[in-house]
Chain A
Amino acid sequence: MKKYILTIIVLIAALAGAQAQSETTSFDVDGIKVIFKPTKKNIVNVRMYFRAGVFNYPPEKAGIENFAIEAATQCGTKKYPGNEFKDAAEKYSILVSGSSTLDYGFTQINCMKKYFASAWDLFSEAIMNPTFNDAEVQLLRNKLISRTKGLQSVPDSRLDQLLMQNGFEGTPYASEPDGTEETLNALTAADIRDYYNSILNKNQVFLVVVGNVDKDELISKVRASFSAMPVKPYNPPEYQVPAFNDNKLLVEKRDISTNYIGAIMNSPRFTNPDFVPFRIGIGVFSGFLFRQLRTNLHLSYAQGAHVEPQMMPYTEMYVSTTNPKDAVHAMIQMLKRIRQFTLSERGLNEVKSSFITSNYMQQQSSAAIAASLGEAEILGGWQYEENLPAAVDKISVDDITRTLNKYIIGVRWSYLGDAGLANDAADAFKERVN
Chain B
Amino acid sequence: MVKIYLFSFLLFLSAGLFAQNKLNDNMFLEKLPNGLDVLVIEDNTVPLATIMITCKNGAYTETPKFNGLSHLYEHMFFKANKDYPSQDEFLNRVGELGIRFNGSTSFENVNYYFTLPAYNLKAGLKFMNSAIRYPKFDEKEMEKENVVVDGEFQRQESNPGFALNNAMEHHLWGDLYSRKNAIGDHQVIRTATPALMDSIKNKYYFPNNSLLTVAGDVKHEDVFKDVEKIYGNWAASGFDPFQKWPIPEFKPLEKTDYFIVESELTKVPLIMFQWHGPDTRNDVPATYAADIFSYIINQNGSKLNKELVQSGLATHINIGYLTLRHVGPIILSVAPNPTKVKECLAELKKQIAQWDMDDYLTDEQIETAKVKLEVKKAREEEVTTDFVQTISFWWSAASLDYFEGYAANMQKIGKAELQAYVRKYIKDKPYCAGMLINASLKEKILPQEFFKAN
Q: Which residues of A contact B (CB under 8 A)?
A: 4, 7, 10-11, 14, 17, 39-43, 83, 86-87, 90-93, 110-112, 115, 138-139, 142-143, 146, 149-150, 152-155, 254-258, 260, 286-287, 290-291, 294-295, 298, 300-304, 306, 320-322, 347, 350-351, 353-354, 356-358, 360-361, 363-366, 368
Contacts and interface: CB of A to CB of B under 8 A. Distances in A.
Contacts of B266: 153
Contacts of B151: 258, 300-302, 320-322
Contact of A93 (B99, B100, B145, B372): B372
Given A39-B45, A300-B151, A301-B149, 13 more contacts: A14-B47, A41-B382, A86-B301, A92-B375, A93-B374, A149-B267, A152-B267, A258-B154, A258-B155, A258-B158, A350-B96, A350-B98, A364-B384
Given A154-B159, A357-B115, A364-B46, A83 B300 contact: yes
Given A112-B375, A257-B158, A301-B151, A146 B316 contact: yes
B117 A356 contact: yes
Given A353-B117, A364-B382, A153 B267 contact: yes
B255 interface: no
Contacts of B160: 150, 153-154
Given A350-B96, A354-B95, A83 B155 contact: no
A43 B159 CA distance: 33
Nearest to B153: A257
Interface in B92-118: 95-100, 115-117
Interface of B: 1-4, 45-48, 87-88, 91, 95-100, 115-117, 119-120, 144-145, 147-149, 151-155, 157-160, 264-268, 299-301, 309-310, 312, 315-316, 335, 337, 368, 371-372, 374-376, 378-379, 381-385
B386 to A, nearest CB: 8
A146 B268 contact: yes
Contact of B300 (A39, A87, A356): A87
Given A142-B312, A153-B265, A361 B95 contact: no
Contacts of A7: 96, 119-120
Contacts of B315: 142-143, 146
A302 B3 contact: yes
Contacts of A360: 46-48
B98 A357 contact: yes
12 contacts: A10-B119, A41-B382, A42-B378, A43-B379, A112-B375, A112-B378, A142-B337, A298-B144, A301-B151, A347-B95, A353-B95, A358-B100
B25 to A, nearest CB: 14
A364 B45 contact: yes
B256 to A, nearest CB: 27
A93 B16 CA distance: 15
Q: Which of A91, A287, A366 has the most CB of B within 10 A?
A: A91
A353 B97 contact: yes
B48 A256 contact: no
A357 B117 contact: yes
B300 A86 contact: yes
A295 B99 CA distance: 18
Contacts of A351: 95
Contacts of B372: 90, 93
Given A83-B300, A364-B384, A139 B310 contact: yes
Given A90-B301, A93-B372, A357 B158 contact: no
A302 B144 CA distance: 14
Nearest to A305: B1
A260 B158 CA distance: 10
Contacts of B267: 149-150, 152-153
Nearest to B141: A295
A255 B148 CA distance: 20
B316 to A, nearest CB: 7
B100 A357 contact: yes
A298 B316 contact: no
Contacts of B309: 139
Nearest to A356: B117
Nearest to A346: B96
Contact of A14 (B117, B301, B374): B117
B339 to A, nearest CB: 10
B382 A43 contact: yes
Contacts of B3: 302
B345 to A, nearest CB: 17
Contacts of B117: 10-11, 14, 353, 356-357
A230 to B, nearest CB: 31
Contacts of B4: 301
Nearest to B383: A364
Given A153-B267, A298-B144, A302-B151, A93 B383 contact: no
Contacts of B46: 360-361, 363-364
A301 B152 contact: yes
The 9 closest A-B pairs by CB, nearest first: A353-B98, A304-B1, A301-B151, A93-B375, A256-B158, A298-B144, A149-B267, A257-B154, A258-B154
A406 B145 CA distance: 36
B451 to A, nearest CB: 19
B147 to A, nearest CB: 5
Contacts of A298: 144-145, 147-148
A83 B153 CA distance: 41
A361 B100 contact: yes
Nearest to A289: B1
Contacts of A353: 95-98, 117
Contacts of B98: 11, 350, 353-354, 356-357
Contacts of B95: 287, 347, 350-351, 353-354
A126 B183 CA distance: 43
Nearest to A363: B46
A360 B46 CA distance: 6
A371 B381 CA distance: 19
Nearest to B116: A357
Nearest to B339: A142
B265 A256 contact: yes
Contacts of B154: 257-258, 301, 320, 322
A155 B265 CA distance: 9
A300 B148 contact: yes
Contacts of A112: 374-375, 378
Contact of A256 (B1, B157, B316, B381): B157
